[in-house]
Structure 1
Amino acid sequence: MAQRSVNKTWVIISAVLLLVIVTLVLVLRHPKEPTLPTVQTIEDVLEKKREVSTYTYLTPSEWDQTAFAEKAINESQGKDDGQEKIEFGIVQNPDQPTQYYFATSERVSDTELFLGIYQYDSATRVWERLYKKTVTITTPIDVYAFHVLGLHNGSLIVQRNQSSYSPGPCYDPLLSLGTKIQTPEGEREAVSPLLELNLEDPYGQWEQHTLPDTIRTKQEEASVTCATELQ
């Protein structure tokens, strides 16, 4: 009787062990699939990216990476040092501190001007040209440059500036609604309104940008202070 009880116990233990082994084999053969991001998660990430906004910019003389960036761009294209120059307005991506945006220009000849807009990583010195344009020069007023002044909801805030236009020490480009000047050829644009270059479609239509009221008020106050200090 005792022997039968022992045998029965071993049968139960063996069955349990077999069940555990089978379960482990099945689990190992069919590992749990990794959790993929949901559509909502992806949309949340993209929305956060679109919400990045800054209207702070540097001049080429203020940015400590200007020489490195110009060298990287020119050298990799077989150009001479300083051939393609960074223009006014260098904007740092608040979400990625080593990522900057700026425009360049190169006077190819007396009748041809090259313009570019770039994304540049200061850590790796790797650049990507986002936009390029060749301009035919027939008169001095045809010479202009792009100025990158901000980053807002996935778009660069860009302005066209006639190269010889000099508006004064308290001028704030962010407040410009566009400026016309009189030339022998008639009225021409000296400064464009603020424009939006969509980073996902840089060659698409550049829409006019409306400066947020809080930023406009801040810039207007700074301009008034500047003018007062010069009196």
Structure 2
Amino acid sequence: MAKSLAGSGKQIVLSTLALVQASSELGELKRYVENGEFLIEASDLGVVNMCAERKLPFVAGHALNCYNAVTLKILLKQGMMRWCMPVELSRDWLVNLLNQCDELGIRNQFEVEVLSYGHLPLAYSARCFTARSEDRPKDECETCCIKYPNGRNVLSQENQQVFVLNGIQTMSGYVYNLGNELASMQGLVDVVRLSPQGTDTFAMLDAFRANENGAAPLPLTANSDCNGYWRRLAGLELQA
């Protein structure tokens, strides 16, 4: 699939594991890094080191704990070409961080990417929640997660969907949607990432493109969509 998409002029980025737990996974990561054709997104510092040793450029994924310009400068020396901002950071934080980068003289040396649509990955666990929910050992799970393409919903006692459990990931219960924040990203953000949700991903992509300058606002729904982190609010909040 990657080769086919690359042939149509798309830039392919292979994302890697955020939590490496076995030597077999380490070997798989090495094969990804040494693929010889596609850019790698490092979600773990081990992959950063692999890329640096081979003098390969990489994308610093949102799973890396990168919150200040000094850290970005270190990653730049290792070969970072793009930084995907941690999902819990706000626009104000991004502005301040990029101002720090200006002071260090590194602002124009990397691209900025923001995860702007989808359930947000908030935490990772050595246990697989999906397997556990079916009383299966993680190593004998029979890939039961296939039965839950959108994860398993977790409701509060007030019946509010607060989380989605998907494999080893704890994700936001609401869909993060920055489709109406695109105008506020201009001059700050180079790449907007959409995480596929069901079968309407291409329609959502078209909606984002149509609203790039704020001309066609997306209809957002409380208790379903959220944009709190970007607005320096609680993550599940939705502010128009």
Kindly indicate which of the two structures has a greater share of residues assigned to strand: 1
Structure showing greater Rg: 1
Relative contact order, higher structure (CA 8 A, sep 6+) = 2
